[in-house]
Each structure stands twice: as C-alpha cells, then as structure tokens.
Chain A
Amino acid sequence: MSNFDLSPLQEQLQSMQTQGRSALLPALHAAQEIYGYIPEAVAQEIGRSLGVPLADVHGVIEFYSLFYSAPPGQAVVHICTDIACALRGSEQVLETVCRHLGIREGGTSADGAFTVQRAPCLGLCEHAPAALVGKSAAGEINSHAVEDLLAGKLPAPRAIVGGTQRRLTKNCGKGRPTTLAEYLEGGGYAGLRRALSLSPGAVIDAVKDSGLVGRGGAAFPTGVKWEGAAQAPGEPKYVVCNADESEPGTFKDRVLMEDDPHLTLEGMIIAGYAIGAPKGYIYVRGEYLQSYKTLGDAVAEAEAAGYLGKNILGSGFDFEIELRLGAGAYICGEETALFESIEGKRGFPRLKPPFPTTSGLFGKPTVINNVETLCNIPFILAEGPEAFRRAGTEKSPGTKLFCLSGDVKSPGVYEVPFGVSLRYLLDDLAGGMRSGSPLQTVLVGGAAGAFATPDQLDVEMSFEGLKSAGLPLGSGVVLAIDQTHDLRQVLLNLARFFAHESCGKCYPCQLGTQRQFEILGRVAAGEAQSEDVARLSDVGWTMGDASICGLGQTAATATLSAIRLWPEMFGAS
C-alpha cells in the first residue's frame, strides 16, 4: 500500500527490536534520516516492528518538535528567537531570512530547499543570535550574509571559556574535543582508578564528604542521591546523565561535552561503580548534534582503551554507556519526563513519589545527574573531598560554571569558585556592558529565574547567597539586559517559551502558560487592562502551587518577580 521502500529502515529496525519500545525515538530518528520525515506507512512499520501501538507512535511523533509527519524542506533552518538571541536581534534575522526565501515563518521555500522555523533556545547564547541550519550550528548570524548562512558557510561556533579556577574546564576552549590521549596526559581517569581501588560505599562517602550539590537546578546533594539508589532494592540499576540542557540562557553542558567528553564519561563510570549499575544512558538534547557526535566518539575511544565495557581496568566492574538523542522538548530535561522519553513515550513528567532513586528508568533505582554535576566527580575522587572543598563556600563547595550572555562585552562560560559576586562576573570576567547603555537588570537562573536589579550586584553567587537575595541559581544563567530593551518584551519572550514547552499534562500549566503568554502580549503591546496584574498573579500563583512539575511551578517566577520590582510596567495605558 505504500510507495516507500521500507527495506533500508527494516534493516535498522532489526537491530533495535530487542529493545522494544525503548528504541522508538532512535527508530524515528533513523526513519527521518532516510525519508526526510516520518510518513504514515513508515510509522506503521516502526510500530509493528517494535511492538508499539500505532496510536502511541503517532502520539510520540506529535510530542517532539523535531519529528515531522509531513515533509519539510531539505534543510530546516532553526532560528533561535529566545531571550539571549532576541536581545541581539534574532527577530529581524528571522524576518530577513524569510523575506530572502519568499516565505513566512514555518514555511518552505518554493524549490523545497529550506523550511524556516523559530526555535527555542539552542544553547548557543554566547554566539547570539544563533541558528541551526540542517545539522550545523551557526552563531552571530546577524553579521553574515543570508546566502552564506543558508549555504552552511558560517564557521562552527567555538566555545568561549574563561574564569579564575579551571577545574572542570581545564581542557575546554581549544575549539575541538580533547582526545583520550590528551585527557590522560592532564590526569584523566585518575579519579576512576582511585574509585576502583575503593569500595563502592567509600566512593559514595567521598562524594558525600565533598558536599557536592547537583548543578541541574534542583540543588540536591549528590552523595545522598547516590546512596539512596545504592541502597534501593531492584536490579539492574541505572545511571543517567541529563544532557538535555534547554533552559534558555544555558550552554555550559554543551561546552563540557563538546570540548572534554571524557570528563562526563569518567563521572558516569564512577557513579555506576558506586551504585552498582551495569549501564548508563546519556540523554542529549536533539539540537546538540555536535555534543552527541563527540560523546559517541569518546565512548568508542574509552571502550577501545578499557575504560568502558567488561572488567574495566581489571577491576571486575562492567559498565556500558548508551547515547540517546532527544527530539525537541525542553520538558524532557525534567528527570522523570526524560525517563519516559528513553522508554519511548511522550515526555510527560511522572507523579512523585516514587522518586528516581527507588523507581526511575524502567522502574529501576536510578541516579540521574546533570552533566556538570558528573564532571565534578573525577576531581573529588582523584584529589579528595578536602581538596574539592578548598574552592567555594562552606555551604556551596567547589566551582561553578556560569553562563554569561546578553548585553555583556564578552559572553561565555566562566568557571569560578562559588561565592564571587555578581558584579565580579559581569564586570571583571565578562567585561562589563557591551555598548554605552547601562545595565537595566540581570536575569538570574534562566527563564525559570528571577530579575536582579543593579543595586543587587554585590550578591554572593552561591546557593545560600542567592537564596537570601531571593534569586534562584537555577542552571547558572547570568543574562545581562541593558537599558535599550523593553522588559515587557523580555517577559513576553520568556512566556512564549513556556507556552511552547508545556507538556500539557496538568491543567494549571497547560492552560496557565498560554494565558500568561496572551496577557503579557497585551502588556508588551501597551494595551494592558487594569485587571491584568491580578490575572497574572492568580495564574502565576496557581501554576506555582498546583502544577505537577518544575516547569509549571516556575513558569511565572520571572513574571511575578517583575510585578514585584516594576509594578508600573504593567500599568494599563
């Protein structure tokens, strides 16, 4: 009944069949590679082959914005219009590109070569405005000709790394991945060797003693998490590396993965040993194709050298790592939604309890950690918890990667010990404001963050320091906004992100992100109604109080913070 040659797909499906439904996203990616999109007959074949009900295959395709059930152009041009890029004129670039091709946003050029889409934050904020053309990332796209952008002639954006204490980033910034040989030369895999010489319990103790706290946003003590999974009944256990980095303004994990992939692998292998897991997954967001490739190469290198696989370094410990590629859904960074995605489902967050440490991936005890969290582990094992604590504050030990972007002179990833001031990051490291316009505000923590005013620049950048200032550390976003920007547009931009990324599972967020977006649209257009602040507050508090997961719970944090700071901005005009 179909005019598609299914044989190249069938060949690939054969090797996936043993994984069943869990291979659904890989299968859909493979199909899209072959056919350019996922036609109905192809979806049917995948469902049949993996034993997934057809309706569910459809539901999964529909959930992820990078899966297409109708053919797009030969190359899809994703132009980031989220906050960091918006501040640098991405809307105009989007318009220019569309005009050049004679199409509207979302449309396909007459020759079928290009489809142009608005993209959520691509994690290239230090190169704003950024785009993804087919599979190639491009930065500073406003300073290049549209023809060159479309022809893929722009140079690949290179990580910009700085800071005062280069613990995690010591191998980053070369403009290429660190090879295994280079990694070893710099003391790589010494942490793993040390860990394998200890008992798993002693490894967990070292992590607990270090005081390491998760860098993914929830600030959970890592050692306690590991201990929970180690002690939970159920086999096999899993280690999952959360590399879905999609919080607007965040790009640190991309730098760690692209420039020093073995550091993440080493952290994961140690975690596997500590909790007794035979397998780990790295879930990389669908837009991070370079990270995905670099990690894949590193896994192969590590396997060949005996750092992964059977009987690692003669210790008797076996561990393998499988890479998974997301497909365009911010919510899949939420840990339980991420599990669902690996299991081949729509990325709906689960109800908690149960928590991942007792019932995580495939219902088994699971440790899920952020990339940056895992990258701290080799140091802790190699140098010891005391050495680790030598940087940072009592309650926030270690170093932190901050993502500086927006209107600063030198955006980039900066590694500093916890406890430096916000002013130090902005002025001393990122070079102050880029143009003559003074600082208006700093968005701290990401789209789910809050605004710091210019009189708060002495705040100490640590979990406790930020907390006492009423600011979240989030994923380490520090996004400076100068006075040339209308903050109402900034709020609208953040609200659009959440409305686009809500999974739709629970009513407060499914409905609230949309209503917030609409009302802020009015506010930004200068057409606010007198009741709009009350509406935004009710919507915001309801999302915060009643939503299932962190997305809805924080989708109004920035709005509520702005209402507190600048009530006049919402005035009816």
Chain B
Amino acid sequence: MESTTNNEITLTIDGRAVTVPAGTTILQAAREAGIEIPVICYHEATTSNGLCRTCVVEVEGARVLAASCVAQAAQNMVVHTRSERVLRSRRTILEMLSSAVDLSEAPEIQQMIEDYGADTQRFPAAQKREFALLDDNPMYVRDYSKCVLCWRCVQVCAEDAQYTYALSYNGRGFNTMISTFFNEPLPATTCVFCGQCVGVCPTNALKPRREWLLEQGKTPEEIIALTPKERRRRPQ
C-alpha cells in the first residue's frame, strides 16, 4: 500500500460526499459512508476478481456498470448504488443464480434474494448445475451443486494463503466445476487438509464431514467408526 494520507479524493455516492484515500475501492468508500452494497464473491481475505457482479454500481458517464469491489473511487466521481439499471442487474443475477445452484444453505444470498425482490422461479425449465456429492476424505465433503463459483477455495488453496494448489476447474462457462487434478480424490492430491477452503466457502458446498454425517442422522460413535485412520497420500 502506498502512503495515501495526503492523497485524498472526494466523490459522491447516492448524493453523499465521501472523502477517502486514493486507491480505495468504491465498495469501501460506500461502506465508509454507511452505504451497504451486496457482495457474493468478495471476501476480505481473498483477492477480488469481480466475479459475481452483485456489487455493481452506476458511475455517471461510464458506458457499463462498475464492480464496486474492484473499481477504484476517483475524484469527483458520481456513483449511484441503487439506480434502475443497478437493481435490474442485481435482481437478474440473483434470479439466474437461484435457477442454477442449490442455495438452501447460503443464508446471506437468500437474504439478498429477499432484499432485491428476486423471483427464484423466474427461469422455468432452466438447467441446474448438479453434481454427485464427493465424499473422498476424512475431513470434508464437497457438494458442488451448492457451488456459486466464487473461486475463494481455489484462491486460498493457492497464492491467497496456502500455496498448496490442490484445486482448479473442470470445464468452462456455465459448465464449470471446481475440481482436482484429473478429478483425483483429495487425499491423492497436494491437499494438506488445512481447512481454509471450508472456512471461506459461502454456501456450504464445502462442509466438515462430521457435520455432514450428523445431518445424515449418524451418531458420533458411528462417525468415529466411519472415519478412516490413515490418509492415503500419493508419494511425491
């Protein structure tokens, strides 16, 4: 971070003048002014990639909306966080997301759906992203039908935290799924079971195995019996 104390800028957000250090994102500037902007992929601990676009805002004079989590505030910028265009985009993104992904264990996104009046049934006969649950290690299960592709798990596994590089992607576009090298079971990968990915997953797509087994109605004794003592690791 550069020193910014003597380098401040003033912009207008929803009619309010806000002064922030140069380099501040519009999202942070809005928060400073007490204006909440919804986010899905954004997380303090991971690099922002501007994926979900629920944080979009309208900047006067710009051709398209700006993702406030990555767009920097600028001097004299005039920002609207709840214009017609912004609301239409947010609502439609949420509607499309609920038509594709199981959001039943994503309370924050559910709240957003309510706040923006998004109709979860807006897209009838829409293809969902459905995958079989992966239970291949003693620590956590992976249910990618609940995955919103926020990339947080991939990032904490790589340069954002762990430098383990166990996770990547299958496919592209709508048919993307988080995966391991050639879909190997996690114990056969570089995964060190640090659990950081589980910690940042916003939708419970990644869930501690114990919690999942309890939900399946297993007793703690049964769970102990079901947990292998050794992890199979591939010799490097």
A contacts, CB < 8 Å to B: 40, 43-44, 53-59, 62-63, 69, 329, 346, 351, 499-508, 510-515, 518-519, 522, 529, 535, 538-539, 541-542, 544-548, 553
Q: How far is it, in angstroms, between the C-alpha of A538 and the C-alpha of B118 when the chains are bound? A: 12
Q: How far is it, in angstroms, between the C-alpha of A56 and the C-alpha of B159 when the chains are bound? A: 12
Q: Is the CB of A351 within 8 A of B92?
A: no
Q: Is the CB of B123 within 8 A of A62?
A: no
> Pick the contact of A546 from B53, B97, B170, B173 — CB < 8 Å?
B53
> Pick the contact of A547 from B49, B53, B165 — CB < 8 Å?
B53
Residue B88 at the A interface, CB < 8 A? yes
Q: Which residues of B contact A500 (CB under 8 A)?
A: 173
- Chain A: interface secondary structure? helix
Cβ distance B83 to chain A, nearest Cβ, rounded Å: 10
Q: Which residues of A contact B54 (CB under 8 A)?
A: 507
Q: How many residues of B contact A (CB 8 A)?
A: 49
Q: Which residues of A contact B1 (CB under 8 A)?
A: none
Q: How far is it, in angstroms, between the C-alpha of A216 and the C-alpha of B102 when the chains are bound? A: 40
Q: Which residues of A contact B126 (CB under 8 A)?
A: 514-515, 518
Q: Is the CB of B88 within 8 A of A507?
A: no
Nearest B residue to A553 via CB reads: B64
> Pick the contact of A58 from B53, B93, B179 — CB < 8 Å?
B179
- Please provide the chain B residues from 132 to 160 with a CB less than 8 Å away from any CB of chain A in the complex: 149, 158
Q: Is the CB of B190 within 8 A of A55?
A: yes
B95, B125, B179, B181 — most chain A CB neighbours (10 Å): B181
Q: Is the CB of B169 within 8 A of A513?
A: no
Q: Is the CB of B182 within 8 A of A545?
A: no
Q: Is the CB of B181 within 8 A of A57?
A: yes
Q: Is the CB of A542 within 8 A of B93?
A: yes
9 more contacts with CB within 8 A, not counting A346-B172, A546-B67, are A56-B165, A504-B175, A506-B52, A506-B53, A514-B173, A542-B92, A542-B96, A545-B64, A553-B64
In the complex, per-residue mask of B93-137: 1 if CB is within 8 Å of any chain A CB, else 0 = 101110110000000000000000000001111110000000000
Q: Which residues of A contact B93 (CB under 8 A)?
A: 507-508, 511, 542, 546
A-B contact count (CB 8 A): 150
Q: Is the CB of A546 within 8 A of B56?
A: yes
Q: Is the CB of A56 within 8 A of B123?
A: no
Residue B37 at the A interface, CB < 8 A? no
Q: Is the CB of B65 within 8 A of A545?
A: yes
Q: Which residues of B contact A56 (CB under 8 A)?
A: 165, 168
Q: Which residues of A contact B91 (CB under 8 A)?
A: 538
B contacts, CB < 8 Å to A: 40, 49-54, 56, 64-65, 67, 70, 85, 88-89, 91-93, 95-97, 99-100, 122-127, 149, 158, 165-176, 179-182, 189-190
> Pick the contact of B89 from A58, A59, A546 — CB < 8 Å?
A546
Q: Which residues of A contact B190 (CB under 8 A)?
A: 53-55
Cβ distance B222 to chain A, nearest Cβ, rounded Å: 33
Cβ distance A505 to chain B, nearest Cβ, rounded Å: 6
Q: Which residues of B contact A506 (CB under 8 A)?
A: 50-53
> Pick the contact of A510 from B124, B167, B176 — CB < 8 Å?
B176
Nearest B residue to A519 via CB reads: B123
Q: How far is it, in angstroms, between the C-alpha of A351 and the C-alpha of B72 when the chains are bound? A: 12
Q: Is the CB of A510 within 8 A of B174?
A: yes
Nearest A residue to B169 via CB reads: A59
Cβ distance A560 to chain B, nearest Cβ, rounded Å: 14
Q: How far is it, in angstroms, between the C-alpha of A541 and the C-alpha of B166 when the chains are bound? A: 37
Nearest B residue to A539 via CB reads: B92
Q: How far is it, in angstroms, between the C-alpha of A57 and the C-alpha of B89 when the chains are bound? A: 34
Q: Is the CB of B174 within 8 A of A514?
A: yes
Q: Which residues of B contact A522 (CB under 8 A)?
A: 125
Q: Is the CB of B172 within 8 A of A503?
A: yes
> Pick the contact of A513 from B51, B165, B173 — CB < 8 Å?
B173
> Pick the contact of A346 from B40, B166, B169 — CB < 8 Å?
B169
B88, B168, B170 — most chain A CB neighbours (10 Å): B168
Q: Could you pull out 6 A-B pairs where Cβ atoms are within 8 angstroms?
A: A55-B167, A63-B172, A499-B174, A503-B172, A515-B126, A538-B92
Q: How far is it, in angstroms, between the C-alpha of A130 and the C-alpha of B218 when the chains are bound? A: 58
Q: How far is it, in angstroms, between the C-alpha of A56 and the C-alpha of B89 when the chains are bound? A: 32
Q: Which residues of B contact A547 (CB under 8 A)?
A: 53, 64
Q: Is the CB of A507 within 8 A of B64?
A: no
Q: Which residues of A contact B176 (CB under 8 A)?
A: 504, 510
Q: How far is it, in angstroms, between the C-alpha of A56 and the C-alpha of B126 when the chains are bound? A: 30
Q: Is the CB of A546 within 8 A of B64?
A: yes
Q: Is the CB of A514 within 8 A of B127?
A: yes
Q: Which residues of A contact B67 (CB under 8 A)?
A: 351, 546, 548
Q: How far is it, in angstroms, between the C-alpha of A141 and the C-alpha of B164 when the chains are bound? A: 49
Q: Which residues of B contact A499 (CB under 8 A)?
A: 173-174
Task: Given the known inter-chain contacts A515-B123, A542-B89, please indicate yes or no for A63 contacting B174, CB distance below 8 A.
Answer: no
Q: Which residues of B contact A507 (CB under 8 A)?
A: 40, 51-54, 93, 96-97, 149
Q: Is the CB of B165 within 8 A of A545?
A: no
Q: How far is it, in angstroms, between the C-alpha of A48 and the C-alpha of B56 when the chains are bound? A: 40
Nearest A residue to B123 via CB reads: A515
Cβ distance A53 to chain B, nearest Cβ, rounded Å: 3
Q: How far is it, in angstroms, between the C-alpha of A535 and the C-alpha of B168 when the chains are bound? A: 32
Q: How far is it, in angstroms, between the C-alpha of A54 and the C-alpha of B188 when the chains are bound? A: 12
Cβ distance A516 to chain B, nearest Cβ, rounded Å: 10
A62, A69, A503, A519 — most chain B CB neighbours (10 Å): A62
Task: Given the known inter-chain contacts A351-B50, A351-B70, please indicate yes or no for A539 contacting B96, CB distance below 8 A.
Answer: yes
Q: How far is it, in angstroms, between the C-alpha of A502 and the C-alpha of B109 when the chains are bound? A: 24
Q: How far is it, in angstroms, between the C-alpha of A535 and the C-alpha of B96 when the chains are bound? A: 10
> Pick the contact of B97 from A40, A59, A511, A519 — CB < 8 Å?
A511
Q: Is the CB of A504 within 8 A of B53?
A: no
Task: Given the known inter-chain contacts A55-B167, A538-B88, A538-B92, please indicate yes or no for A69 contacting B182, CB distance below 8 A.
Answer: yes
Q: Is the CB of B99 within 8 A of A54?
A: no
Q: Which residues of A contact B181 (CB under 8 A)?
A: 40, 43-44, 54-55, 57-58
Nearest A residue to B182 via CB reads: A40
Q: How far is it, in angstroms, between the C-alpha of A501 and the C-alpha of B175 when the chains are bound? A: 11
Q: Which residues of B contact A542 (CB under 8 A)?
A: 88-89, 92-93, 96
